[in-house]
């Protein structure tokens, strides 16, 4: 399997007057199609790491290469397009657009490409919703759904553009244990079916153990890196 992502000596320092270093010389690489989990205590820097991988945040020093492309060399618009086509985000909070229905939310990453919504595209969105078990409520406004449904909609949305990589930051943080189980099984199924690379942050060791690889971050450094 090829490397989809490489991090070389990534440092992250917040603040200009009072400097707080969050990440120290992180070196990591991820295989395409792998299912990875990142664990660590609050404030360990795991979310910062994920945001840097997702190009939402920038490293203070070091390099991030995705598919061999250094993200430092990209313009703002190239980064936007790149995020849109290559990465799917699932956050702890669902971040659905409350003004739109579940189906419209799922279609949004495609709409951002400003291409016409054909029947194929619409079918794809519906199929994604079916995959997460929401085909019956797809025309509901996103505010009129349960927490689990909203999070599953967010997952369907992350899958819409067939991204190579899905970055999930505590995707079940707000859900009960039954929903948590369902969501992780779903992520795993997607990983197997679409060969999508997953990088999932969780503080639940039980969940982390289901991954192919567990990386533990402690005080901004890699404490543990186990591949099964």
Partner 1 sequence: MKLGLRIARRFLSSNLSQTILIILGIAIGVSVQIFIGSLIQGLQKGLVEKTIGNSSQITVSSNQDERYIYEYDKLISDIVKTDENITKISPVLDNQAFLLYDDKNQSLIIRGFDIDKPESMADGIYDISNRIVEGRMPKDENEILLGIDLKSEYGIEVGEEVDIFRTETRKIFKSTVVGFFDLKVSSINTNWAITTLDNAQKVFEAGEVITSVEIQVNEDAVFTTDEIAGKILNVIGNEGYKVVNWKEQNESLLSGLEGQSISSYMIQVFVIISVVISIASILAITVLQKSKQIGILKAMGIRNSTTSFIFLFEGLILGFFGAITGILFGLGLSFAFTKFALNADGTPVVDLYISYSFIALSGIIAVVASVLAALMPAIRSSKLNAIDIIRNN
Write out the residues near partner 1 by the rule CB under 8 A: 47, 51, 54, 56-57, 76-77, 80-85, 89, 91-93, 95-100, 108-109, 111-112, 114, 157
Secondary structure class of 210 (helix, strand, coil):
coil
Looking at the Cβ atoms of 150 and 210, the one nearer to partner 1 is: 150
The CB-of-221 to partner 1 minimum distance in angstroms stands at 21
Looking at the Cβ atoms of 21 and 84, the one nearer to partner 1 is: 84
The CB-of-30 to partner 1 minimum distance in angstroms stands at 20
Looking at the Cβ atoms of 24 and 100, the one nearer to partner 1 is: 100
List beta partners, residue 14: 20
Looking at the Cβ atoms of 170 and 214, the one nearer to partner 1 is: 170
Helix H or strand E segment including 8: strand 3-14
The CB-of-93 to partner 1 minimum distance in angstroms stands at 5
Distance CA 182, CA 187 (A): 9
The CB-of-104 to partner 1 minimum distance in angstroms stands at 8
Looking at the Cβ atoms of 75 and 178, the one nearer to partner 1 is: 75
Distance CA 193, CA 204 (A): 24
The CB-of-227 to partner 1 minimum distance in angstroms stands at 29
3-state secondary structure 152-200: HHHHHHHHCCCCCEEEEECCCCCCCHHHHHHHHHHHHHHHHHHCCEEEE
**Among 58, 57, 32, 73, CA closest to 163:** 32
Going from the C-alpha of 219 to that of each of 163, 203, 222, the distances in angstroms are 30, 15, 8
């Amino acid at each position: 399997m090829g490397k989809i992502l490489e991090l070389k000596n990534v440092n992250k320092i917040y603040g200009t007057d009072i400097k707080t270093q969050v990440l120290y010389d992180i070196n990591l690489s991820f295989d395409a199609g792998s299912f990875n989990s990142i664990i660590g205590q609050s404030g360990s820097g795991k979310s910062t790491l994920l945001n840097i991988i997702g190009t939402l945040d920038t490293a203070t020093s070091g390099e991030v290469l995705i598919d061999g492309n250094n993200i430092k060399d990209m313009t703002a618009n190239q980064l936007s397009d790149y995020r849109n086509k290559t990465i799917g985000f699932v956050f702890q909070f669902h971040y659905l657009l409350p003004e739109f229905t579940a189906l419209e939310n799922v279609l949004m990453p495609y709409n951002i490409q400003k291409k016409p919504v054909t029947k194929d595209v619409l079918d794809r969105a519906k199929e994604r919703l079916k995959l997460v078990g929401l085909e019956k409520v797809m025309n509901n406004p996103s505010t009129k759904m349960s927490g689990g449904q909203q999070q599953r909609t967010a997952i369907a949305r992350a899958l819409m553009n067939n991204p190579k990589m899905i970055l999930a930051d505590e995707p079940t943080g707000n859900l009960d244990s039954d929903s948590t189980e369902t969501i992780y099984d779903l992520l795993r199924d997607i990983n197997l079916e679409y060969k999508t690379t997953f990088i999932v942050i969780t503080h639940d060791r039980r969940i982390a153990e289901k991954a192919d690889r567990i990386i533990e971050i402690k005080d901004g450094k890699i404490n543990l890196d186990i591949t099964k």
